Amino acid sequence: MYIKINLDYNSLEPYIDNKTLMLHYNVIYSGYIDKLNKLLKKNNYKDNYSLNELVDKIDMFPLEDRGEILYNLGGVLNHKLYFYEISDKGNNIPYGEILKDINKYFGSYDNFKKEFIKKSLNLVGSGYTFLVMDKTGKLQIINTSNEDTPYSYGFIPIIVLDLWEHSYYLKYTTNKEAYINNWFNLIDFKKINDLYIENKKSLF
């Protein structure tokens, strides 16, 4: 379940600093994984659902643990995607299937970027901005609070931006907008396009 990050902690400099990346990955993300594993063990979980399937199966757990399981499950799913999609490979120019559909639903990549930034600046409190796909394949930009995962609302997450203070505060303090703009330099459209094609196949 633990996705080993395939880059060194300096490689996202200057956009995301070494210390932030290390704490975010080794403390925050791995903390969610540990807590989720403990909760699943406590409940004697033996099934083999994928993490996103587990969101739909949350009712199988006793009511008293459900909230905590869902919270940590969301924490794992959201961070797993966030870390998967940022890299130092310089693949931040969209192409292929994902670009085709961004153009279809948002007019152009520039317009998508503008809408994504606007949405992320409107998030109140801790949470995320996502590009998601609904069950008909339509793309839209949504915000979720705390560790809510789009799977809980019937969406498949495609692109995620972590907007919790732990993802930027050490470097950017209150300048969230600079972090958001700089994050666009790190998103890896090779990985996003691959994931998008795979998710689209699961729908049609």
C-beta of residue 194 within 8 angstroms of C-beta of residue 84: no
Pick 101 or 162: Cβ nearer Fe ion? 162
Per CB under 5 A, which of residues 67..86 are in contact with Fe ion? none
Which of 83, 164, 183, 189 touches Fe ion by CB under 5 A? 164
CB of 39 to Fe ion, least distance (A): 19
CB of 97 to Fe ion, least distance (A): 27
3-state secondary structure of 105: helix
Taking contact as CB under 5 A, which single stretch among the options 45-53, 152-160, 165-173, 174-182 is the one that binds Fe ion?
165-173
Q: Which two tokens stand for residue 33?
A: 């994984």
Residue nearest to Fe ion (CB): 162
Pick 7 or 203: Cβ nearer Fe ion? 7
CB of 89 to Fe ion, least distance (A): 21
CB of 47 to Fe ion, least distance (A): 27
Pick 72 or 167: Cβ nearer Fe ion? 167
Instruction: Give, in order, the Cα–Cα distances in Å from 42 to each of 36, 45, 46, 58, 82.
Output: 10, 8, 11, 15, 28
Per CB under 5 A, which of residues 144..163 are in contact with Fe ion? 162
Pick 74 or 94: Cβ nearer Fe ion? 74
Q: How far apart, in whole angstroms, are the C-alpha atoms of residue 144 and residue 196?
A: 20
Q: For residues 45, 51, 54 and 55, what is the CA-based torsion angle, rounded to 10 degrees?
A: 140
In terms of Cα–Cα distance, which of 157, 141, 140, 158 is closest to 149? 157
Pick 130 or 164: Cβ nearer Fe ion? 164
The CA-CA-CA angle for residues 131, 177, 111, to 5°, reads: 45
3-state secondary structure of 156: strand
Q: How many C-beta atoms lie closer than 10 Å to residue 140's C-beta?
A: 14
CB of 16 to Fe ion, least distance (A): 11
CB of 24 to Fe ion, least distance (A): 6
Which residues in this chain contact Fe ion in the complex, by CB under 5 A?
A: 162, 164, 167
